[in-house]
């Protein structure tokens, strides 16, 4: 076996030697062909996502790779900048470094062809922080818990400190701060534990004990009431003691801040004194005037968008409306003799935003409005009408209106018929149509159309029998817009036609209109366009404001002119012609001229046609809007229900005298 192997090697060696040293005259063997260069690889790799912005420090991001041109889908992951820019595992899960603001690059490489790779850029978020509350006033030794929010890192822990050291108070690791015993301004600091370069602060004003009272001033009639609220700062002890500076001659106040004005007129002072510091107090000024409101017994139900009608026997019928149970069919009667309410027969259907008109025979015509369930969703607009007969105490149906309408005006004409004009139909748009109710036939019939569709307008019977229609919204409601109108028109019962008259001094809706004993018509308050937004074919009203302006319409000249302004802008208020010819304006959504803040108000004022001026009168006990105001036969005014500041419906009532 070994000899064979040796022989093979010898022959092979000889052959090689002969090839290399061949005899002269022969040619060398040709070289082997060159190896061709490798063809370009068809492999490609793509990373996703390509860019990651604002990844929190120490945050996690998953990357994926797509391989084409090879059946080998294995890839290798790396971070271009190395460990300083984080790490990534074999599954593509990237862990960001604790380096806010860093820019890093994740690289994926194909195993099938290491020359093929792709890169993604990762931006690490800058840390941002804030502390709440950012500014606060505390009393000596008072506690406050601060909270720090840290963004841009997964480590949201902070270290708390006080900039001024122990002289500025102390704070625990949980952010519970204790104010120092000295007054001044100090700073609570939160420092990010992820990166101590980032901090946020809050300012603390350590203040002495102080007291304030709301309202700071009010006007009341004799025995009028007001609930005062005291706010105490600079101590954890919020209690106060109440007293009247002038003693019993200045009225009385309970331990809960409910003040009752005296019978005598003048200015008096309600005082609240801190229980924690008897030297800290505040006072409110109360001006007691000759007329004002006193609380009456509550209604049997809370109501808003209801009606109130004076009956021939001096009682007042309150009907329908709505509260948190939905629209109401119930009614009740107020008897001024007993100063009490009692339930009356219900209407045939639940109604709100309807009309109620006392007819010449003493019956009350209830018409239109809408009906709804407890949620108030998808209200049913009504065309039905019914009559309340005070002699039988019951309701009976009468003819239907010709048009479904909510919030129309209803005006009893000199001949006893009732004019219904405008309102909203079941499409939600204002209507121009008008109709007449004939009590003798118990039917409605169409009459001439207004020149414009209107809702939120006013309708006032003039001394010559015509009806003044003024203002309102004339275009369909739209999202975020409100467009009141300044035009006015007159309805003539003799011709059944509406004709244009002079314009108001500005566009208004949901104002009040009162015919004075002089024959002039007082237009007061209402909504006007606050700011315009451009869009569509022109400009739309983006916001509405309440007006304190008042104007007078002269039927003889057919023109409006300005008169004195109210002390408070109002809408949703009531206007009542008193026996002495003055107009009582009460409540509504009011605007304080000094602060321009809007809220439901309890204030009231009187318009004197002789001087053309408004003056404050005694305030209501309760702030209310959308209430009813009824001049009773004894000359007093019954104010009933409506909506309060929290938008809840009210049961409370009060009487102006």
Query: Of 1.10.1020.10, 1.20.1250.20, 2.60.40.1080, 1.10.3720.10, which CATH number belongs to 128-206?
Result: 2.60.40.1080
What is the rounded CA–CA span in Å between residue 278 and residue 352? 52
As a whole number of angstroms, the distance between CA 239 and CA 641 comes to 32
Q: Are the CB atoms for 422 and 491 separated by under 8 Å?
A: no
Asked whether the beta carbons of 471 and 509 are under 8 A apart, the reply is yes
Q: Which of 313, 420, 287 is nearest to 366 (CA)?
A: 420
**Secondary element (H or E) of residue 6:** helix 2-20
The enclosing H or E element of 171 equals strand 170-171
Sign of CA dihedral 522, 516, 408, 453: negative
Domain 45-124: assigned CATH number? 2.60.40.1080
Q: Provide, rounded to the nearest whole percent, the portion of the chain with pLDDT above 70.
A: 89
According to the model, what pLDDT value does residue 107 have? 97
pLDDT, mean of each 10-residue run, the chain (657 residues):
32 31 42 54 93 92 95 95 96 94 96 95 94 96 96 94 97 97 97 93 97 96 97 93 98 98 97 96 98 96 97 98 93 97 96 96 96 66 95 97 93 98 88 97 98 96 98 71 85 98 95 97 89 45 78 98 95 96 96 70 97 97 96 98 91 97
pLDDT digits (tens, 9 = 90+) for 30-42: 555 555 554 557 8
Please tell me the predicted confidence (pLDDT) of residue 623.
95
3-state secondary structure of 289: coil
Q: How far from each other are the two terminal CA atoms of the chain, in whole angstroms?
A: 142
Tell me the C-alpha distance between 340 and 599, whole Å: 30
Residues forming beta bridges with residue 431, ordered by sequence position: 454
Sorted by sequence, the CB contacts under 8 Å of residue 378 that are 6+ apart come out as 372
C-alpha–C-alpha distance, residues 56 and 156, integer Å = 11
Distance CA 509, CA 522 (A): 14
**Identical fold, 128-206 and 210-288:** yes
Task: Choose the CATH number for 210-288 among 2.60.40.1080, 2.30.130.10, 3.40.50.300, 2.40.160.20.
Answer: 2.60.40.1080
- Reported pTM: 0.77
Domain spans in the chain, listed from the N-terminal domain onward: 45-124, 128-206, 210-288, 405-563
Phi, psi values for residue 257, rounded to 5°:
85, 15
> May I ask the CATH class of domain 405-563?
mainly beta
Residues 6+ away with beta carbon under 8 Å from 654: 293, 294, 295, 296, 620, 621, 622, 639
Q: What is the pLDDT of residues 164-217, one digit of tens each?
A: 999 999 999 999 999 999 999 999 999 999 989 899 999 999 999 999 999 999
């Amino acid at each position: 076996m070994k000899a064979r192997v040796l022989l093979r090697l010898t022959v092979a060696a000889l052959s090689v030697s002969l090839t290399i040293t061949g005899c002269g005259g022969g040619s060398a063997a040709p070289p082997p062909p060159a190896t061709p260069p490798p063809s370009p690889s068809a492999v490609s790799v793509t990373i996703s996502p390509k860019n990651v912005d604002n990844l929190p420090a120490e945050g996690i991001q998953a990357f994926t790779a797509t391989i084409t041109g090879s059946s080998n889908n294995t890839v290798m992951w790396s971070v271009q900048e190395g460990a300083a820019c984080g790490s990534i595992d074999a599954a593509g899960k990237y862990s960001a470094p604790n380096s806010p603001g860093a820019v890093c690059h994740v690289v994926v490489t194909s195993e099938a062809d290491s020359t093929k790779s792709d890169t993604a850029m990762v931006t690490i978020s800058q840390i941002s922080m804030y502390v709440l509350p950012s500014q606060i006033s505390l009393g000596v030794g008072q506690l406050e818990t601060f909270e720090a929010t840290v963004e841009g890192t997964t480590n949201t822990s902070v270290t708390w400190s006080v900039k001024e050291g122990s002289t500025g108070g102390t704070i625990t690791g949980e952010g519970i701060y204790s104010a120092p015993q000295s007054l001044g301004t100090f700073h609570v600091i939160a420092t990010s534990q992820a990166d101590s370069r980032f901090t946020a602060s809050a300012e603390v004003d350590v203040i002495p004990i102080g007291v304030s009272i709301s309202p700071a001033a009010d006007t009341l009639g004799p025995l009028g009431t007001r609930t005062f609220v005291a706010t105490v700062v600079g101590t954890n002890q919020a209690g106060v003691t109440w007293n009247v500076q002038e003693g019993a001659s200045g009225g009385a106040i309970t331990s809960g801040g409910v003040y009752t004005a005296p019978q005598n007129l003048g200015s008096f002072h309600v005082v609240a004194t801190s229980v924690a510091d008897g030297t800290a107090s505040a006072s409110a000024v109360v001006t007691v005037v000759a007329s004002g409101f006193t609380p009456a017994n509550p209604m049997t139900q809370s109501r808003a968008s209801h009606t109130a009608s004076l009956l021939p026997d001096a009682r007042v019928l309150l009907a329908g409306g709505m509260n948190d149970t939905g629209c109401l069919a119930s009614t009740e009667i107020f008897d001024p003799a007993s100063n009490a309410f009692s339930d009356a027969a219900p209407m045939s259907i639940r109604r709100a935003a309807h009309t109620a008109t006392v007819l010449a025979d003493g019956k009350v015509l209830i018409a239109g409005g809408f009906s709804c369930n407890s949620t108030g969703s998808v209200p049913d607009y009504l065309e039905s009408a019914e009559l309340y007969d005070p002699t039988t105490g019951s309701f009976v149906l009468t003819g239907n209106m010709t048009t479904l309408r909510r919030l129309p005006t209803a005006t009893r004409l000199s001949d006893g018929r009732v004019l219904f004009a405008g309102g909203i139909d079941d499409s939600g748009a204002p209507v121009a149509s008008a109709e007449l109710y004939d009590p003798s036939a118990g039917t409605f019939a169409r009459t001439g159309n207004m020149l414009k569709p209107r809702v939120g307008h006013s309708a006032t019977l003039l001394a010559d029998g015509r009806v003044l229609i003024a203002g309102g919204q004339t275009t369909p409601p739209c999202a975020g817009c409100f467009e009141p109108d300044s035009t006015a028109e007159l309805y003539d019962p003799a011709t059944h036609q509406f004709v244009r008259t002079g314009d108001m001094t500005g566009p208004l809706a949901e104002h009040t209109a009162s015919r004075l004993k002089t024959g002039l018509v007082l237009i007061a308050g209402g909504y006007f366009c606050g700011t315009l937004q451009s869009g569509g074919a022109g400009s739309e009203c983006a916001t509405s404001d309440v007006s304190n302006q008042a104007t007078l319409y002269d039927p003889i000249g057919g023109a409006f002119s300005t008169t004195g302004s109210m002390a408070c802008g109002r809408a949703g208020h009531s206007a009542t012609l008193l026996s002495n010819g003055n107009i009582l304006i009460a409540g509504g959504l009011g605007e304080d001229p000094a602060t321009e803040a809007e809220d439901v108000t309890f204030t009231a004022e009187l318009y004197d046609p002789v001087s053309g001026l408004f003056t404050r009168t005694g305030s209501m006990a309760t702030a209310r809007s959308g209430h009813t105001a009824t001049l009773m036969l004894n000359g007093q005014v019954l104010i009933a229900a409506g909506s309060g500041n929290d938008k809840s419906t009210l049961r409370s009532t009060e009487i102006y005298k």
